[in-house]
Amino acid sequence: MTARKVPAPLQTAVLAGALFVYLTAEMFPIGVLTDMTRDLHTTESGGGLMLTVYALVAGAAILPTVALTRHVDRRAVLVGALIVLAVSQAALALAPNLPAALAARAVAAIPHGLLWSTVPIVAVSLAPEDRQGRATAQVFLGGSAALVGGAPLMTGLASWIEWRAAAGVVAVGALALAVLSWVSLPALSPDSRNSERTPREPSWLPRVLKVCVLTVLMVTATYAPYTFFALMAEPYGFRAWSLGGLQIAFGVAGLLAVAMIGKQIDRSLDVALALTMVGLMVAFGVIALSPPAPVFVVGVILWGAAQACVAPTMQSAALRGGPGAQVMASALYVLAFQIGIGAGSSLGGVVLDRAGLPWLPVCALLGLIPVAAVPVAQGIRSQPLLR
């Protein structure tokens, strides 16, 4: 069966699967942080470096990798990134200490941004112009599905077969997806319509940079508590499989929200952003009150729904902000997202050590206030924010 005979929904599923396995690997330490830090002989805040270093390497590598692969078949780029991920996860499973674990994760981080900037462009190229927001959201369902099935499955699996074997499972999954990507996707050369040439006049750059600044602020605020999700849930009795269940609730909410946000993105990016911001602020406001367990769960569910909408909304804004330069616009957006993850996990570690666990959602709420002020100011001037 050639790639041309593969139905479009299957191609979309493969693209979503690539995001699924990469996000599962990136977020792998979150659900197993306690076990990993004990086995690697480090502290919990030290374990948070596994996210920080990953984000820093991914951010530093994205622009060089995009430049180096600009003439490479997009299918080969995706397959190569998945193979690198498989090698990285296998090395993580064998890591004897924290430095080795950090090095293993850094390997996967090198093509991370390249993959995440390429997949939405490929998805958009396969969709009609009036459905590109939905196409972006559909592939980002892979990321949401990682929160629903990937991260919780790894948490539960690690409690059953230990985290090293669970890391090996991710490696096998990445290899399987590499094969599926090769046989199901068509050749996607840089000369095809899914790889645009950067225009000579970079009039798109200010618009994309505005999206990137908002992305950094939002992701920093949300990942400060998210990095230590397992620790935040412990006082409410969520551990091992019950923690996995909470992550499933978090992810299901995100999956449903992303499935719906695509239509809103096609209608109005500004409204999509406003809905995302309101959801995040209400969620962190609820959690910051240290409520009873049922209310905490409601806050987590709302948090999951809103956080999952950040990526498709801001990625769509970046792609629309850089017509004719979508590869670079997408790369800059992914760079901003990785900066936000690194800054958020670092900030969360500082808050955890110096102020304590209850201050993590407060920190997130305070960090979102300046982001919320920007659309308000744009609204007063009657100017669209993201388009």
Q: State the 10-residue block means of pLDDT for the chain, 387 residues long.
A: 59 86 85 81 76 84 85 86 95 90 92 85 68 69 71 78 89 92 77 46 77 92 90 86 82 84 81 91 94 94 92 83 73 85 87 90 91 63 56
In this structure, the dihedral spanned by the alpha carbons of residues 53, 23, 227 and 114, taken in order and rounded to 10 degrees, is 40
Cβ atoms of 335 and 305 closer than 8 Å = no
Give the pLDDT score at 9.
72
Cβ atoms of 296 and 289 closer than 8 Å = no
Fold of the domain built from segment(s) 3-380: Growth Hormone; Chain: A; (1.20.1250)
What is the Cα–Cα distance from 147 to 254, expressed in whole angstroms?
A: 8
pTM: 0.74
The domain spans of the chain are 3-380
Cβ atoms of 257 and 306 closer than 8 Å = yes
User: In which region does residue 238 sit, left (phi positive, over 0), alpha (psi from -120 to 50) or beta (all else)?
Assistant: beta
How far is the first Cα of the chain from the last one, in angstroms, to the nearest whole number?
A: 41
Picking from 120, 117, 116, 123, the residue whose alpha carbon sits closest to that of residue 8 is 123
Angle (CA) 244 247 250, round 5°: 160
Angle (CA) 221 226 231, round 5°: 130
Give the pLDDT score at 145.
75
